[in-house]
Structure 1
C-alpha cells in the first residue's frame, strides 16, 4: 500500500485526455499530486524543478514523442518509473517501449489498468531502494567489522600455510611489545613463542599442513620483543579455499594475569598441603612441643585465610563482569547444533524481559520475537556460520509482549571441536535501542526543519509534517490545532474519524446563541484537555503534565480516575475516551513565550509514549511554532507593503489630478488676459505644472513606485509641449536618446522641469520664421553620475547673452534645479545651442 502523496508528471497534449486520466487516477486509493505538461520544454523543466515519483506519457505528441520523453527521463531521472498511456500503441511498439526502458504501458481504452500499473511500478521502486539500502548496510557492516577487529582488546592474526604472519591488529602488537602491527608482518610464528614450546608447535604445524587440522584452543608461552614472557590463549581457525587449506586465522588472548593468579593459588594450595603435613608432625610432637604446635596452627589459619581472600577476589571479578554486562546492556548465549538447546545468560533474560523460571525459549518460540525478514536473516547467518566457520552479526528488531519494541545487534560465532566440526554457536546480544531511536529522531528532526525552512504554503507544509510524525511515532491519528478568531480549531488532521473531527473541531465554550464564551479578560473559555494545554494551565507538579507544558497518558482509565479524584479538570470532555483512544499526547506549539496551537497524538493501544519521546516532540512543537509565527509575520509584512503600494499610487494619482486642476484653472484664466506676454507666462506655468503632473501620472501607473522610466516620460512631455505651442507637424523633429534610465521622484521632478524649460525655449526660439530643424535630447548614465544633453541646430543665443547672469525666468529655474541636483551646467554655442548638465547618480 502506498502511504505517501505521489508526485505524478503527465505528458499529454490533449486536455480532454488529461482530464480523463486524472479522473481515472482519483478512482484509486493512491494519493497523488498531478502535473500536466504538453511540450518537450515544459517536460524538461518539470523534471528539473520537481521531485517526480512517476511519469505518465502519451506515445505521439506534436513535435515530440513518447520515446524522446523516455530518453530524457532515463538521462535525468534514471530510477523514476515511466508508463506509456496511449490509444495507438500496437503490440510491437509496446514491446519496443519496454526494451527502451519503459516500466509499463496502458492503453487509453483500458485505463482501469492505470492505477494497478502505478502501484506495481512504485512497489518495484521500493524493492530497488530496499536492495540499495541492503547493499549500503552490507558496506557499513564490513566497516564495523574492520573497526571491531582493529579496536578489540584481543589480538587478531592471519598466517599462511608456512606459519608466516600476514596480518596482525594493534592489540596483538601491543601484547608482544611491538610499536605497530607492521613490525610483526612477515615474522614466523615460532619467533613469538617460548623456545620450550616451539617443538610442540612444530609437530602441530606439520599436521596442519598435511591434514588441515588445528585444535579448538591451546595455551602457549609467548616471548615479547624485550625478552619478557607472557601467557596467551590461542583460538585458531583453518582458512579453506574450496578443499585447499589456505592458512589460518584466529584470536589470541593475554592470559598472563590469570596464569599468575592460578600459580598463586597453586602455590597457596601447596603451602596448605605443607601446613597439613606440618600439623600432623606437630600432633606427634604435641607432648614435647606444644608451643611449636600453636605456631604451626597460626600459619595454617593464615594460609586458609589467604585462600579464602583469593576465592573472594575471583568471585568479585565475576560480579564485576556481570555488572559490566548489565551496564552495557549486553548478554551472552549458546546454541547446541545437535540438540537444538539454547543457553541464555541472566542478562539476556533481562533484555528480552523474560522470566528466568521459564527457561530459554525454543528455536521456534524465539523466532516469534522477530519480523519474518529478521528471523530469516538470523537463520541464514546461523547456517553460514556453521558452513563457513565464520562469525556473522546482524541488527534486528525485537517485539516484546505489550507492544514494546527494541533494537538488538547480535554476533554469531561457531565453536569447533578437536576435529574441526562445529558443535556449538555462541555470541553476544547488545541492546542498541537508544542508538536506533536517536538516529531515527535526528533524521526526522532534520527533515522537519528542512520542510519548515522551505515553508511557502502553510496547509500543504503542515500536512506533510503531520504525515512524517505519524509514520515516525506509529500512532493512529495526528492533529494540528491553530489559533483562529477566539478558538483553536483543527487546522490539519490525519487518521481521526470524520465524526470525531466534526464534534471536536472547536475548543471554545459556546452560549445558547452559539457565540464564543469569553472570560472577564476577554480571553476565550477553552474546554477539554487541549484547552488546558493551549491556555498554559499545565502544572508539572501534577500527574500527566510536563515542565514543557505538555499533557500525555498511556491509559485513559488513569486520567479519568485522576480527574474524578482531583476535580481540577472540570471542563474535561470524554470524546477521546468514548472513541476508544488509550494513549493521548498533547504538545503545545510555542513561539517564544506564546502558545499558538498544539499537536495531538492519539492511539487505541496503550503504552505508546515515553518521557523522552514527549520531550523530543516538545522540541519539534517549538520549531513548528516559531516557523508558523515567522510565516504569519512575513505574510503580515507582505499585506502591509501591498497596502502601502496602493496608498502611494492613490497619493500620486490625487497629486496628478490636483496639478491638472491647477493647470486647467490657469488655462481658463489665461483666456481673460489680453497682454501676449502675460499669456505666454501663464502658458509656461501651465507647462511646468503639466510636467510635474506627468511625473506623478507615470509613478502611479508604474509597477515600481520608487522610480520612473524617463524614456516614456520625455516622449510624453514632448507631445504635451508640441500641443501647447501649436507646433505644426513636420516643421521640426525631436530626437530622443534615453534608454533604460530610471529616476526616483527626488530627481525626476527637477530633471523633468529642466527638460521642460529647455525644450520650451527651443520650441519657441530656436526656429523663428517657420524654419525647420531638429531638437536633440539625450540622457545617459556615466559611472556614478548622469549626463543630460539638450541641443538644437537652430539660430543659437545672442552674442551678448551671458549665463549665469540672465534675467529670464526659465533659465533661472534651470540653474536652481541644477544646483538642487548638486550638478553643473555647460553651454556650447557651436552650430546651434547645446546645454550639457551633469548631476550625481
Structure 2
C-alpha cells in the first residue's frame, strides 16, 4: 500500500491496497481517522510518533528502509507491516510511505521460532545431517545425551556416534530413508564422547526442500539406558521369583483387578488339580469354586485393591478326595506407577501345625480335668479326715462346727467333680451343680423331705470356676443356715432357690437390683435368691455385720465376686445375690 503525507502527518493521497491493509476507506484515511490508532513494536511496547519511518525520513530528509511495525485495527487485531518512507525533495515536507503486509510471514516466523525453541529445549537429542552423513544441526538435548557440544560436533560425520560393533548401521538406515521408509522408535546402541555405550530409541525422518527433493535426514534420539536397566532388572527379578515360586512348597498365585489368574505355581496347580493352560486367564468362579468361597476371596482382593494394604488370614480347604487342609494366606498388593495392579496370594500349608495344636488342646483339657479330679479327691480326703476327727468329740457345738466345715469342703469338691465330668474345663452348669449341692446338704442334716422341702427354679447358667466356687459356698452357708435355724422344733416349711438372668427375674417379679448404685456400676447379669418361709432373721440382727461365721463368709464372698446382696424379712427370709460372670 502507498500513501503520501505532508509535514503534519496528514494523508494527502492513498491507494486501495493501503485501504485493504488498514481496513479503512479512502475518505476515512484522508479525514485522519487512522490517527488514534496504536502502533506496537515486535516486543509489545508501543512505538512513539518520533519513531515512525515517515517522521524519521522527514527529519533526516532522506529515506528509511524496512522498518517493522504493528498496527492495531478497530477490531483489536494486529496487522504487522514492513514500512519504508522517503522524503520528497523540493516538496515542502511531503513523504511517500510504502506499507507491506507481513502478518502471515510474521506468524510463520513465530511458529518457526516456537519450533526452534522446542527443539532446543527438548531432553531428546534432535539433530540433522546431510545425505552424506555430515551433522548440520545439534540441539542442547544432544549435548546432554552424547556429551559433545555443538561446536565440537557440527561438520563431523554421524558415524562418530556408532559403536565399533554397529559400524555401518546408520548408512543402512539412510538407505531405507532414501527408499521412502520411516524408522520409528528403533532401539539400538550409541557411543558417547567419553566412550560410554548407551541404549537409545531413535526416530529418523526425511527433510525435503521447497521442490520436494530429499536434502537431509532428521534424527530424534531418546536415552533409554535407565529404562533398559530397569527392564533387565525386572526380568531378572521375575525370573528369580519364578524360580523360587516354582520350587516353593507354598501355594502362590497372582490375580488382576478382575480376580483373573495371571500366574499359579506348581504347588497351587497340584492342589487344585489344574494345569497352567486351564487356570491362566480364568477366575475362581469360572474354575468351579464354591460361590460362597468366591465371594470370600473376591471381598479380600477388592479390599486390598482399594486400600493397598496386605492381609493375612487362615482358611480350610477340602480336596476332591475328601482330605482336609488348613492354610495361612498372606495377600500382598503389587504396585505399578503407584497403583495396585495385581495381588499376590501366598498360602502356607499349616495342616500339621493345626493338628498339633488341636492335639495339644485335647491334652491340655485332659490335664486340667485330671487336676480337677485330683483336687476333688483331695477335698474328699479332707472331708473324711474332718469326719474322723469329729468322732473324737461329743460336744454338740463342736460336732456342728465339724459338719459345717465338711459341707463347705464338699461344696468345693462338687464343683471340681462337675468340671471333671463335664465337656468344658473352665465353666460348669451351675444349675446342675446346685441340684447336687442341695441334695447333699439335705442328706447331711438328715432332713425328711415330707417335713422340709426344697423348690429349685434354676435357669441353665454356665459360670467360670472363679465365680462358681465362692457362689457354691454362699449357697451352702445360706441353705445350711435355713436348715439349722429357720424351722425350729420340727416345724415344716420350704426352702426356695432361684437362679436366673437379671432380665428374666425382673420381668417375672417386676423388681430391680436392691442397690441401684451397684446395678449401674457393674451391670449385673444374674441373680441368685435363697429364701425360706421359716421364722426369719430377727430384726435386731444386722446380717452384714453379724457374729455368725456363716454370714460373715457370705458377705466376704459376695464382695469377692463383685456382687451385691439384699435381704427381705417378710414371711421368712429372702437373700438375693446379684452378680456377673467374669467373662461379661
- The structure with higher relative contact order (CA 8 Å, sep 6+) is 2
User: Over alpha carbons, which structure has the higher Rg?
Assistant: 2
State if a TM-score over 0.5 links the two structures: no
TM range (shorter): 0.3 to 0.5
Higher helix share: 1
Normalised to the residue count of structure 2, the TM-score between the two structures is 0.40
